[in-house]
Structures are given as C-alpha cells and as structure tokens.
Amino acid sequence: MTKDAHTPEQYSALAQSYGQLQKAYLDKASEEKQEWDRRSQDIVSIAAKYPRPVDSARYLYEYYTYKATEAGALATKYSQLAAPVTK
C-alpha cells in the first residue's frame, strides 16, 4: 500500500496503521522491560552461559523499542503527506 498511496486519505490510513503498529511495539517493549527487570534480580553467576535469560529480555526490549521508533517515524512521515498543502 505504501507504493500505491497517492491521496491524502491513503496517506492518512498509512499513518494510522503505522501509529497502531508503533503502539503495539511499545506495549511489547514495556512487557520485555518488566521481564528484563525481573530477570536482572536473578543473576546468579558472572560465568553463566551466554546468552543469559536477562540478555534475551534486554535484546527483545531493544528490538521492540527500535521498531517502535521506526514505525513512529513512518507514521509522522505519512501524517505530513496527508496534511493539506497550504500556499
């Protein structure tokens, strides 16, 4: 749909879609942040096998945060394209 969008309505729909995607990624990041915090409490040994469960939770948190930022940038881009041009 991103390649076929040419009207403000289509851009607005894309912006809304990316906004919802951003919210979903932020929700997942929040869940992983809580899991990361929980797993950080249970670190037993420095010599634990890599990747430790705490590492996995951190990587997932960072991934979801990155994807949310990416979706937010696209939502902003398409919102600006949907806005009427004033002269």
Is the model's pLDDT at 24 over the cut of 80? yes
pLDDT tens digits for range 30-51: 999 999 999 888 766 655 677 7
Residue 47, judged by CB atoms within 10 A of its CB (0-12, 13-18, 19+), counts as exposed
Write out the H or E segment, with its range, that includes residue 13.
helix 8-40
Q: What is the pLDDT of residue 30?
A: 97
Q: What is the pLDDT of residue 47?
A: 56
- With contact defined as beta carbons under 8 Å apart, do 11 and 19 qualify? no
Residue type (1 letter), 1? M
- With contact defined as beta carbons under 8 Å apart, do 12 and 78 qualify? yes
Q: What is the pLDDT of residue 85?
A: 62
